[in-house]
């Protein structure tokens, strides 16, 4: 359980850091969508390790193979399976971690829950697990674009205490991809890169905040009560490794305002469309999109695996000290950007189908 996400556009992921590979099965994709391995690869390349000096040096080309569900370049409406083989696995790096639990990592809890753990590279708790999400997200993004011109753009908005200035209403993918930290504020990006590089040399790690915006949304996505759009978005991104917090619109800062300051007043635009002048709601009211941009933020903690010495215990219950070997990201944020985008796209695509089913039938 727990390896499936979504209700109508539904993905099931599989695979571990080491072993046969990782992948995803996508169920419920509309038929006749043109899709190629190359399009999926673009997103996987944004996620893959070894892409720059501030990511883990593990070398994985992460080449994807579409096993099924696509015929002559188009989706057939049946299950799409995508597989990425593992390549540069170095199990020996993990020999020590087979026995010594990494603090704040999943080692202890997996062992406690299952009594067994694929300890090589973290097994299922490795961030390689997100490959399937990103591959599926590439397809979700294409559907969103094609059906309604919706675009989903994520970016690093803060690294530790370095806060970028970005306008979610105008930021472009090109700006995000213009530097290796994926922060569209290029001045701040330089500082971020320097900081991450310095932390890497200290064998330590840092975290930060990814912001994500979805634009051109139709009104009406999302549902009352439990499957509110912000609830499904929260679950989606809080299921990413290392995430510790979620905000929609004004988030925690909004709690400092009075209602009269916080409310987004309505007006009619030139097309007599109902709009809000401000967007503290983050594009969602009562769980349903109001047509304004959806804006959300995700907090990512500093990477748990670090080269510095830490006190810990062993599987056989001895206290010990661990300085982790293996190849790890000093900061997950740059690679988390495509992950957040993928999860947001998956939620929006699922709700697009759900809304269409219920509200465009009669």
The interface with a second copy within residues 27-86 (CB under 8 A) comprises 27-33, 65-69, 71, 74-81, 83
* Comparison of 170 and 357: residue with beta carbon closer to a second copy: 357
* Comparison of 161 and 167: residue with beta carbon closer to a second copy: 161
DSSP 31: T
* Comparison of 105 and 215: residue with beta carbon closer to a second copy: 105
Q: Is 359 in the site for a second copy (CB under 8 A)?
A: yes
Give the footprint of a second copy on residues 313-352 (CB under 8 A): 313, 317, 319, 352
Q: How is 116-153 classified by DSSP, letter by letter?
A: ----GGGGGGSGGGHHHHHHHHHHHHHHHHHHH--EEE
Q: Cβ of residue 244: shortest distance to a second copy, in angstroms?
A: 5
Q: Cβ of residue 167: shortest distance to a second copy, in angstroms?
A: 20
* Comparison of 79 and 173: residue with beta carbon closer to a second copy: 79
Instruction: Return the half-sphere exposure (C-beta side, CA atoms, 13 A cut-off) of residue 273.
Output: 11
Taking CB under 8 A as the criterion, the residue among 45, 245, 325, 327 binding a second copy is 245
How far, in Å, CA of 141 to CA of 61, rounded? 22
Give the angle 341-342-343 at the CA atoms, nearest 5°.
Answer: 95
Contacts of 172 (CB under 8 A, 6+ apart): 153, 184
Taking CB under 8 A as the criterion, the residue among 8, 63, 173, 180 binding a second copy is 8
Other residues' Cβ atoms within 10 Å of the Cβ of residue 321: 9
Give the footprint of a second copy on residues 280-299 (CB under 8 A): 280-282, 284-291, 299
Task: Give the position of tokens 């900061």.
Answer: 331
The 3-state secondary structure of 316-361 reads: CCCEEEEECCCCCCCCCHHHHHHHHHHHHHHHHHHHHHHHHHHHCC
Q: Cβ of residue 46: shortest distance to a second copy, in angstroms?
A: 20
* Comparison of 96 and 204: residue with beta carbon closer to a second copy: 204
Q: Is 357 in the site for a second copy (CB under 8 A)?
A: yes
Q: Cβ of residue 174: shortest distance to a second copy, in angstroms?
A: 26
Q: Which stretch binds a second copy (CB under 8 A): 41-49, 89-97, 116-124, 168-176?
A: 116-124
Contacts of 315 (CB under 8 A, 6+ apart): 98, 99, 100, 101, 111
* Comparison of 178 and 218: residue with beta carbon closer to a second copy: 218
* Contact letters for a second copy, residues 200-239 (x by CB under 8 A): ----xxxxxx---------xx-xxxxxxx-xxxxxxx-xx
């Amino acid at each position: 359980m727990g390896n499936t996400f979504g209700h109508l556009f539904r993905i099931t992921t599989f695979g571990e850091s080491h072993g046969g590979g990782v992948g995803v099965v996508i169920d419920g994709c509309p038929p006749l969508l043109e899709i190629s391995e190359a399009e999926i690869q673009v997103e996987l390349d944004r996620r893959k390790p070894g892409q720059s000096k501030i990511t883990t040096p593990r070398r994985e080309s992460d080449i994807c193979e579409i096993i099924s569900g696509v015929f002559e370049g188009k989706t057939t409406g049946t299950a799409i399976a995508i597989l990425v083989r593992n390549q540069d696995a170095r199990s020996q790096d993990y020999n020590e971690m087979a026995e010594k639990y990494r603090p704040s990592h999943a080692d202890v809890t997996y062992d406690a829950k299952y009594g067994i753990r694929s300890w090589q590279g973290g097994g299922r708790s490795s961030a390689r697990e997100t490959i399937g999400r990103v591959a599926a997200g590439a397809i979700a993004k294409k559907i969103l674009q094609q059906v309604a011109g919706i675009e989903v753009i994520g970016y690093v908005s803060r690294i530790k205490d370095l806060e970028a200035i970005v306008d979610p209403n105008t930021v472009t993918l090109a700006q995000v991809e213009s530097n290796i930290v994926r922060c569209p504020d290029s001045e701040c990006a330089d500082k971020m890169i320097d900081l991450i590089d310095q932390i890497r040399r200290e064998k330590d790690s840092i975290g930060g905040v990814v912001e994500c915006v979805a634009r051109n949304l139709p009104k009406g996505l999302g549902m009352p009560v439990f499957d509110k759009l912000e609830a499904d978005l929260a679950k989606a991104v809080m299921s990413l490794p290392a995430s510790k917090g979620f905000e929609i619109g004004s988030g925690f800062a909004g709690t400092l305002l009075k209602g009269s300051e916080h409310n987004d007043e309505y007006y009619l635009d030139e097309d007599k469309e109902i709009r809000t002048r401000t967007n503290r709601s983050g594009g969602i009211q009562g769980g349903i999109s109001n047509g304004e941009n959806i804006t959300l933020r995700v907090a990512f903690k500093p990477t748990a695996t670090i080269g510095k010495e830490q006190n810990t215990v062993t599987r056989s219950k001895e206290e010990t000290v661990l300085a982790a070997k293996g190849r790890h990201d000093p900061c997950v944020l740059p690679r988390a950007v495509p992950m957040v985008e993928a999860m947001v796209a998956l939620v929006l695509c699922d709700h697009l189908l759900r809304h269409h089913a219920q509200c465009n039938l009669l």
